Amino acid sequence: MERHPARKYFRAEQAEVPHLWCSGCGIPQVWHYTVKAIEELKLDIDKVLWVGGSGCTGRMCTYWVGDFLHTLHGRPLGFATGAKLANPELTVFCHMGDGEATAIGGNHLIQTARRNVDLVAIVINNFNYAMTGGQFSPTTPLGAVTMTSQLGHIEYPFDLCELVTTCGATYVARWTTFHARPLINSIKKGIQRKGFSFIEVLSQCPTQYGRRNKMGDGVQMMKWLKESSVRRENAGKVPEADLKDKFLIGEFVDIEKAEYGASLRELIKRRGG
Amino acid sequence: MNRRILSGTYLFQGDEACAEGALAAGCTLFAGYPITPATEISERLSWRLFEVGGIFVQGADELDSLTIVIGAACAGGKAMTATSGNGICLMQECIGYAAITETPCVIVDVQRAGPGTGIATSTMQGDVYQVRYGSNADYAIIALAPESPQEMFDLTVEAFNLSEIYRVPTFILADEIVGHMRERVVIPEEVKVVERKKPKVPPQEFVPYGVESDTDVPPMPAFGEGYRMPVSGLTHTETGAPSTDYEVQKKMVTRLWNKVEKRVEQLTKIESAYLEDAEVVVLAYGSVARSVKSAILEARRQGIKAGYLRLITLWPFPDRVIKDVVMKRPKAIIFPEMNMGKMIREVERVAGGKTEVIAFPKPGVELHKPGEIYDLIRRAI
């Protein structure tokens, strides 16, 4: 029997299989898009480290066949920074959920972006904390129903791409799970850019967020994501009233700037170490 | 010139000596957040590390610092952080993570007065339980308590070595007095440094958390060496697979506990004098031991049979050496601590009521005076 082409990247023997994600979830799609990018760039598996935290997205790294560092809720970027500084040869991915990246891990996110550490940070934004049963996160839209906003959500959501742009990230993009090809291309760019690359992936969570907001199954939610997103270069052509409740997708930042590890190694050179 | 080991004699602050000890032990990365009275360790390493090819990071807080340290250690680095008071509180989550992942790292706690923000510039020995039991659930750590700047150097080297040998977070449990005091420090020509044990088998035969028959510490490859290392804070099997099974949990937690607690004899470091004929024994650790020594010398001058025992290893707690003292049936054991009485509970547990154990607690700020300890000895006789 022919093996699935992604099989060589999948840690089947030592991981929880079948995987723990629900039917229709967007997270395993992003897992696949990440290995597609790795495959297309022909990266050496033994030089690729996946780092994750806690929650549904945090588990992604535990299925990566190579080195992985499955860490604390909200803190994978700190661990990823340490590993990258200790071994600059590694390509380091850090997959995070919206809750862990922006609530409990908010400071790690802004500081890592500010330092411009050479990592690929991918936030899978499914608008809620899913593993704990679907509570609101800093990206939950106003009015949405979750287990802790049963009367409708009253907090304003974060715009993550604007946030990390302000913090100094050198590559910033947003896509949805529907936009497979541009997302894979962005992941490839993120790998190739020397600096903090941030990719937000809007994703469906039919089990928790979708169910409570009557959005249908995984396929229907992906359709919703597709129809709710507008390419940023087309935003000017859309009447402003229609842009309300739409997600801008595309590349927001792609610049060059000194990378943290490189700057540190410059200090070593200067001190003769 | 060897910039790692600055052989020579210096007038160093304890914090500076600690920084030099880290360098001599082969530290490749330090990450720390400024906090009194540990800041001088960061300040010195912020330029010294670059001289030896290492990296200094000022963390955005103590969580950031210790996550960076653990990440670096997993990628093959030898890493350290230093903190105090509120900082050691913030690190607790990461300490448990380092314990379950068996990541070697050195954590320096230059204790200050508390609770809360307390008095940043004053001393205390209030964190002795926190470093042992502060993170959730069961694990074990090693903690060493220096009494002088010289020991800040020596024990920091030792802490790195122990941490690498046993794959366990290892603490330097200093206090503000030891951290800020300036004293003669001799850095030797050579320093014994132990390197991490790497797997001997090729990657395809490697069992990530499997142990060989002669040890319970698994070898540890670095990320990027081809071993495809799974590192997770979840309860895991020998292969690194997450598990919710009771037998897996029992085996893992027992090994994490025993690899330190069952090695108490090899890990125990003490200093003692005049114990043979002692009718009163004074216990101490850290800076308090300095006052105790003067009090004992004075007592001996006055013909009082007093002896002392200084605990250098605080954790794992050396039950046997305390038992040896108790078996000689002294009239009393006196234990001055700069807290409301913490390690004394361990001593009372071992003494089991066979010997009177007298507490002399001080809640930090003021060190016990030799005269106060001497008076207690006289009263006990």
Instruction: pLDDT tens for chain B, 381 residues: list them.
Output: 469 999 999 999 999 999 999 999 999 999 999 999 999 999 999 999 999 999 999 999 999 999 999 999 999 999 999 999 999 999 999 999 999 999 999 999 999 999 999 999 999 999 999 999 999 999 999 999 999 999 999 999 999 999 999 999 999 999 999 999 999 999 999 999 999 999 999 999 999 999 987 789 999 999 999 999 999 999 999 999 999 999 999 999 999 999 999 999 999 999 999 999 999 999 999 999 999 999 999 999 999 999 999 999 999 999 999 999 999 999 999 999 999 999 999 999 999 999 999 999 999 999 999 999 999 999 999
DSSP single-letter state for residue B188: P
CA gap A45, B328 in Å, rounded? 62
Domain boundaries, chain B: 8-187, 271-380
Q: How many CB atoms lie within 10 A of CB A158?
A: 18
Residues of chain A found within 8 Å of residue B31, distances taken between Cβ atoms:
82
User: CA A84 from chain center: how many Å?
Assistant: 18
Q: Judge whether A258 lies within some domain.
A: yes
Torsion of Cα atoms, A93 then B200 then B195 then B87, to 10°: 40
Q: Judge whether A49 lies within some domain.
A: yes
- The helix (run of H) or strand (run of E) holding residue B337 is strand B332-337
Is A85 within 8 Å of B79 when comparing Cβ atoms? no
- Domain CATH number, residue A222: 3.40.50.970
Question: Chain B interface, mutation test: which of A8, A63, A85, A91, most B Cβ atoms within 10 Å?
Answer: A85
DSSP single-letter state for residue B338: S
DSSP single-letter state for residue B7: -
Q: Judge whether A2 lies within some domain.
A: no
Question: Chain B interface, mutation test: which of A84, A87, A112, most B Cβ atoms within 10 Å?
Answer: A87
Q: How many CB atoms lie within 10 A of CB B216?
A: 16
Instruction: Concatenate the DSSP letters of all residues of B226-295 into one string.
Output: SS--EEESS-B-TT--B---HHHHHHHHHHHHHHHHTTHHHH--EEEES-TT-SEEEEE-TTHHHHHHHH
How many independent structural domains does chain A possess? 1
Joined tokens for residue B156 = 């920091």
Distances (CA, A) of B57 to A84, A119, B38, B63: 13, 17, 15, 13
Q: How many Cα atoms within 13 Å fall on the side-chain side of residue B207? A: 10
Closest CA to A87 of B221, B91, B150, B137: B221
Joined tokens for residue B124 = 């205390």
DSSP single-letter state for residue A233: G
User: Given phi > 0 = left and psi -120 to 50 = alpha, else beta, which region is A33?
Assistant: alpha
- List chain A pLDDT tens, one digit each, 273 residues: 678 888 999 998 777 788 999 999 999 999 999 999 999 999 999 999 999 999 999 999 999 999 999 999 999 999 999 999 999 999 999 999 999 999 999 999 999 999 999 999 999 999 999 999 999 999 999 999 999 999 999 999 999 999 999 999 999 999 999 999 999 999 999 999 999 999 999 999 999 999 999 999 999 999 999 999 999 999 989 888 888 889 999 999 999 999 999 999 999 999 988
* Closest CB to B60 among A62, A111, A268: A111
CA gap B294, B371 in Å, rounded? 9
Q: By the 8 A CB rule, do A114 and A167 touch? A: yes
Is B223 within 8 Å of A67 when comparing Cβ atoms? yes
User: CA A143 from chain center: how many Å?
Assistant: 24
CA gap B176, B125 in Å, rounded? 9
pLDDT, tens digit, 9 for 90 and up, residues B118-134: 999 999 999 999 999 99
Residues of chain B found within 8 Å of residue A272, distances taken between Cβ atoms:
51
* Closest CB to B240 among A14, A80, A264: A14
pTM of the predicted model, to two decimals? 0.98
Residues of chain B found within 8 Å of residue A43, distances taken between Cβ atoms:
none
- The helix (run of H) or strand (run of E) holding residue B366 is none
Is B241 within 8 Å of A16 when comparing Cβ atoms? yes
Q: How many Cα atoms within 13 Å fall on the side-chain side of residue B47? A: 4
Joined tokens for residue A78 = 């700190």
Q: By the 8 A CB rule, do B355 and B380 touch? A: no
Is B240 within 8 Å of A65 when comparing Cβ atoms? no
Q: Judge whether A151 lies within some domain.
A: yes
Joined tokens for residue B354 = 């066979």
Distances (CA, A) of B350 to B159, B318, B380: 26, 10, 20
- The helix (run of H) or strand (run of E) holding residue A105 is none
Phi, psi of B71 (to 5 degrees): -60, -45
**B251 forms bridges with which residues in the sheet?**
none
Segments forming the whole domain that contains residue A231: 7-270
Q: What is the pLDDT of residue B28?
A: 98
Q: By the 8 A CB rule, do A20 and A62 touch? A: no
* Closest CB to A82 among B72, B226, B240: B72
Q: Judge whether A1 lies within some domain.
A: no
- Reported residue count of chain B is 381
* Distance from the A216 Cα atom to the nearest Cα atom in chain B, whole angstroms: 32
Chain B residue with CA closest to A9: the answer is: B228
Residue B98 touches chain A, beta carbons under 8 Å: no
Joined tokens for residue A48 = 């690729």
Q: How many CB atoms lie within 10 A of CB A269?
A: 10
Residue B220 touches chain A, beta carbons under 8 Å: no
Q: How many CB atoms lie within 10 A of CB B219?
A: 19
Residues of chain A found within 8 Å of residue B56, distances taken between Cβ atoms:
264
Torsion of Cα atoms, A116 then A122 then A128 then A133, to 10°: -120
Chain A contacts in chain B segment 32-61 (CB below 8 A): 47, 49-57, 59-61
CA gap B311, B344 in Å, rounded? 12
B351: helix, strand or coil = helix
Residue B95 touches chain A, beta carbons under 8 Å: no
Pairing of strands B105-113, B119-123: antiparallel
| Residue carrying the six token digits 């020509």 | B189
CA gap A170, A189 in Å, rounded? 11
CATH code, B271-380 = 3.40.50.920
Phi, psi of A41 (to 5 degrees): -90, 0
CA gap A249, A244 in Å, rounded? 14
Spatial neighbors of A244 by CB under 8 A, at least 6 apart, are none
Q: What is the pLDDT of residue A94?
A: 98
Q: Judge whether A201 lies within some domain.
A: yes
Residues of chain B found within 8 Å of residue A68, distances taken between Cβ atoms:
229-232
Give the relative orientation of helices B62-74 and A106-115 as an angle to the nearest 10 degrees: 70
* Distance from the B242 Cα atom to the nearest Cα atom in chain A, whole angstroms: 7
B110: helix, strand or coil = strand
Fold: same for B8-187 and B271-380: yes
Is A89 within 8 Å of B63 when comparing Cβ atoms? no
CATH architecture of B8-187: 3-Layer(aba) Sandwich (3.40)
- Reported residue count of chain A is 273
Q: How many CB atoms lie within 10 A of CB A131?
A: 18
* Distance from the B182 Cα atom to the nearest Cα atom in chain A, whole angstroms: 27
Residues of chain A found within 8 Å of residue B93, distances taken between Cβ atoms:
72, 75
* Distance from the A264 Cα atom to the nearest Cα atom in chain B, whole angstroms: 7
Which residues of A touch chain B, with CB atoms under 8 Å apart? 11, 13-16, 45-47, 49, 51, 62, 65-72, 75, 77-87, 89-90, 107-108, 111, 264, 267-268, 270-273
* Closest CB to B232 among A70, A77, A89: A70
* Distance from the A31 Cα atom to the nearest Cα atom in chain B, whole angstroms: 17
Q: What is the pLDDT of residue A33?
A: 98
